[in-house]
Amino acid sequence: MSLQCDYLPATGNAQQELVLLHGWGSSREVWRPLLARLRPWANVTLPNIPGCAIGSASCAVPELNDVLAEILQCSPPHAVFVGWSLGGQLALELARLEPERVDAVVTICNNPQFVASEAWPGMSADIFRVFREGMAINPSATLRRFHSLQVIGASSPRRLLRQLQIPGDIAADALLTGLGWLEALDQRGLLLTLRQPQLHLLTEGDALVPAAVGLNLAACMAGNSSGQVVMLPETCHLAPLDSPAELEQHIHQFLPSMGGMQRLEHALPQLQKKDVAASFSRAATVYDSAAQLQREVGEQLLTFLDRYQEAPGIVLDLGCGTGHFCAELKNHFPQAQYLGLDLAAGMVEYARSRCDESCYWTVADAEALPLASESVDVVFSSLAVQWCYRPEHLFAELSRVLRPGGLCVFTSLGPDTLCELRNAWASVDSHQHVNTFLPTADLMAAAERVPAIEMILQRSAFRMEYGRVRDLLDELKALGAHNMNRSRPAGLTSRRSLQGMLQAYECVRANGLLPATYDVIFGVLEKT
């Protein structure tokens, strides 16, 4: 079994880790409207759950414990688990099995005993049996009926129905397994004994989970002070699609009240992406004339592609710049479609004008790729990663867009880059005159937080030599790689400071030349 999982870091200051578990006959896409509201304050893990997802593989009918184990494997060590419909029951099971890892549980439109009994409201056993038989005989028609029930009570049911797609090839065996879980799970007794905070969000218009379940839930948790039940008016079973704003509001209010919010480590960006894009756009037409180091590093990185033994369909040149490596990538993978992507619009326009017309080009940020999940086989990225100040976002996006077995080879610059220039400036003032880049430890820590990837790094020092310091500074300007950090000095550098720096740099002259060291990090990232 292979569980698909996306990790989406917070777009603002992360205060919580959330794991979102979708319901039966759905997929993780049901959470998309809610993501824009959650990600300003939360990191989100988004699995596609076998046995529940309409895209489950027909060749693998998972056991419930195996599914729960895979969910935990791709989840952070500590998180709040949010489950919709059957996903709510999975969240409760995880809280029971791994109380040290589940900080709180939020269920949405969930019935802890879905099939009704004399003492508990739900779907009648006869209707459930007919539904299960219909799923085995005619899954497409049964799913259409299921979708029509889900939108009852919605403000705009037709709009919601248009968002619900039924695939041509339905893995009925896997979905029947999920129905078996739905029929068997009875978690009423668990509600009182769980020590984690619980929030149960129900809707008045739900045609699958009767509103009366709310009263029964409250009765079950009468002795549990950390449990809450909230009834949402004027929405349906598909609350994540129909009422994302209301859901986010209740979740965001509940977690602080239960002590479930914290300020996770979050570094302020050292660079403004718009500054990086503008600088490299201006340098597009002269970049290649000064890019000796970039060519040497890129040529060495190309040899790492030999690790990929398949015939890729899509090759992404991430941070393609002027498209210098386009031809070599096409030669290496002649059957693949080449896609060049760069943050700088000027670079992309220049590359498009000089490269093969069969190539595709786009302007985008590597930390927010405009590409479908599992759409890319190979990523080549030479000396672009150092401009990503949140590597966790980058690695999460690479994990998302790479197909299983996919490969990314990349280079970045490490913190010892231009150490001679940095030391020379340090002798005259305390300002930051040289760009700061992340060390390998930070890159590895970021990658370890992202599921489904394995990464190895190695460092290599590249030594460039110049007759004058001015030659180095002019080259950095021509490359668009001059100092762009927030803490750079404001205004023009004084003549006295500049002269002091030049004199200090002369102390490292050897054999008539001034060295400039580049701390280059080579990375290989594989999607498992």
Residues carrying an active site annotation: 85, 206, 237
- Cα–Cα distance list, 113 to 124, 188, 216 (Å): 11, 7, 11
Is residue 217 a contact partner of residue 69, using CB atoms and an 8 Å limit? no
Please give the structure tokens belonging to residue 481: 């790689």
β-pair partners for 108: 84, 201
Name the DSSP letter for residue 508: G
- Any idea which residue has 């791709």 for tokens? 74
User: DSSP readout, 203-258?
Assistant: ETT-SSS-THHHHHHHHHTTT-TTEEEEEESS--S-HHHH-HHHHHHHHHHHHHHT
Beta pairing class for 102-108 and 198-203? parallel
Please give the structure tokens belonging to residue 216: 């029964």
Is residue 380 a contact partner of residue 329, using CB atoms and an 8 Å limit? yes
Angle made by CA atoms 153, 158, 159, in degrees to the nearest 5: 100
| Count of alpha carbons within 13 angstroms of residue 339, beta-carbon side | 18
Q: Kind and range of the H or E element at 412? A: strand 402-413
Angle made by CA atoms 251, 253, 259, in degrees to the nearest 5: 95
- Cα–Cα distance list, 183 to 127, 218, 480 (Å): 12, 22, 62
Is residue 382 a contact partner of residue 411, using CB atoms and an 8 Å limit? yes
- Cα–Cα distance list, 420 to 63, 466, 486, 519 (Å): 59, 12, 21, 12
- Residue 8: which of 444, 452, 400 has the closest Cα? 400
Cα–Cα dist 472/479, whole Å: 11
Which amino acid is it at 199?
Answer: L
Exposed / middle / buried, residue 458 (Cβ in 10 Å: 0-12, 13-18, 19+)? exposed
Is residue 125 a contact partner of residue 116, using CB atoms and an 8 Å limit? yes
Which amino acid is it at 320?
Answer: C
Which amino acid is it at 292?
Answer: Q
Give me the helix-helix angle, 86-97 and 172-184, nearest 10°: 60
Cα–Cα dist 249/253, whole Å: 6
Exposed / middle / buried, residue 157 (Cβ in 10 Å: 0-12, 13-18, 19+)? middle
- Residue 428: which of 386, 469, 367 has the closest Cα? 469
Cα–Cα dist 309/405, whole Å: 10
Cα–Cα dist 436/389, whole Å: 10
